[in-house]
Amino acid sequence: MAEGGRIKAFLCTWAHFMKDDLGELRDYDYAPDVRVQRVVCTGNIDPVMVVQSFIDGFDAVFVGTCEPETCRFTGEKSFMAGNKQASAKLDSLQDALTVVGVVSERLMVEWLSPKRPDRFPKAVDELRTKLVVHGPIKKDDVTRAKLEVMRDVLESFRTRWLLGKKLELTTDKNAFGEKVEGGKIHSTIGDALQKEYVRAWLMRVLGKGPATVEEMAKATGFSSELVLRHLMRLRQRGQVAFCGERHHAPVYCKEGGP
């Protein structure tokens, strides 16, 4: 095994597994430290799959897409190209990973081509070099919990919709004939993911039982002010309810709880 750790590689069948490659590179046996999973189109890669890979013990994730403008799953509109969708979603995921303490360099997205079979080995070597610098991801309970919370965030309909719309919003014109500036939507999505991450942590704590603001702050490491602000938002959504007092402090629980 490489010094830096294990790598999970999601490779587009059309981008790499062609002709002779089928005999040379099969699922799971590329190298001892690299586990390969073929996908029909990288546009179908759910960010949850990437986070789950880290939860499962991998230290980096590589995504190999088709070359620019060569996606075989291009739809009627330019933003429907699978490789563009993958790049747009995973670009935001790199920022989301930093929220849970996973450096963005642990997720690499590169284009591959059957005409350039050397690109995959070179990209893996580059990723291995980065892992030697960063080392394996911590396997402690705290790191796992953070990744699980981020997975919960990415599984929500709200987040799936936002990430799925990112490329369309920056490529197609809206009802007013305008395109959303790429940097602006990227920043908006990053801000939304951070907020949803805090709220998901609070829901995780309340899933274990009613708690006060101070108890939730202690359990999550967030400030009491931040906890209270997001609790109010969760109450507006109908996900959290006030359910009594403890030592003269308000106690909150999940909606429908005690």
| Cα–Cα distance measured from residue 92 to residue 47, given in angstroms and rounded to the nearest whole number | 9
Instruction: Give the SS3 label for residue 31.
Output: strand
In the prediction, which pLDDT does 165 show?
A: 77
CB neighbours (10 Å) of residue 115?
8
In the prediction, which pLDDT does 79 show?
A: 47
Residue whose C-alpha is closest to residue 90's, from 129, 46, 55: 46
H helices present in the chain, as ranges: 21-24, 47-55, 82-99, 119-134, 141-155, 157-171, 182-206, 213-220, 224-237
The token pair at 237 is: 């959504």
In the prediction, which pLDDT does 42 show?
A: 83
| Cα–Cα distance measured from residue 158 to residue 5, given in angstroms and rounded to the nearest whole number | 33
What is the residue-level pLDDT of the chain in tens, covering all 258 positions? 445 689 999 988 777 654 444 444 444 457 889 998 888 888 888 899 999 999 999 999 999 888 777 776 665 454 457 777 888 888 889 888 998 999 999 999 988 877 787 888 899 999 999 999 999 999 899 999 999 999 999 999 888 888 877 777 767 665 556 666 667 778 888 899 999 999 999 999 999 999 999 999 999 999 999 999 999 999 999 999 999 999 899 999 998 755
Instruction: Give the SS3 label for residue 245.
Output: strand
In the prediction, which pLDDT does 22 show?
A: 44
> Class assignment of domain 208-258?
mainly alpha
| Cα–Cα distance measured from residue 42 to residue 44, given in angstroms and rounded to the nearest whole number | 5
How do the domains of the chain map onto residue ranges?
1-206, 208-258
CA angle 93, 69, 71 (to 5 degrees): 70
